[in-house]
């Protein structure tokens, strides 16, 4: 579910390092919102990341 339908940004994996340098696996999830947007001329609910919303790649439906 954590995937942007505009740019395709999804979950990426890395290593979380604590102050004492103990390492454990971590999933970095994108900031995805469920918004009503215009897709092919019709309003539709889609999952879009906040970067696409902010940059204007998505036209919001009212």
Residue 23 lies in a domain: yes
pLDDT at 45: 95
Range of the domain at 32: 12-55
The model's pLDDT over 8-41, given as tens digits with 9 standing for 90+, comes to 999 999 999 999 999 999 999 999 999 999 999 9
Contacts of 9 (CB under 8 A, 6+ apart): 3, 30, 49, 51
Residue 18 lies in a domain: yes
Residue 42 lies in a domain: yes
In this structure, are strands 42-49 and 23-28 parallel, antiparallel, or unpaired? unpaired
Q: Collapse the DSSP code of 56 into the 3-class scheme (helix H, G, I; strand E, B; otherwise coil) and give the result.
A: coil
Residue 16 lies in a domain: yes
Residue 7 lies in a domain: no
Q: How many structural domains are present in the chain?
A: 1
């Amino acid at each position: 579910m954590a995937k942007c339908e505009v740019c395709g940004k999804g979950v990426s994996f890395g290593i979380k390092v604590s102050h004492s340098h103990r390492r454990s696996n971590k999933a970095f999830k994108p900031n995805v919102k469920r918004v009503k947007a215009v897709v092919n001329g019709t309003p539709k609910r889609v999952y879009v990341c906040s970067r696409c919303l902010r940059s204007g790649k998505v036209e919001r439906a009212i």
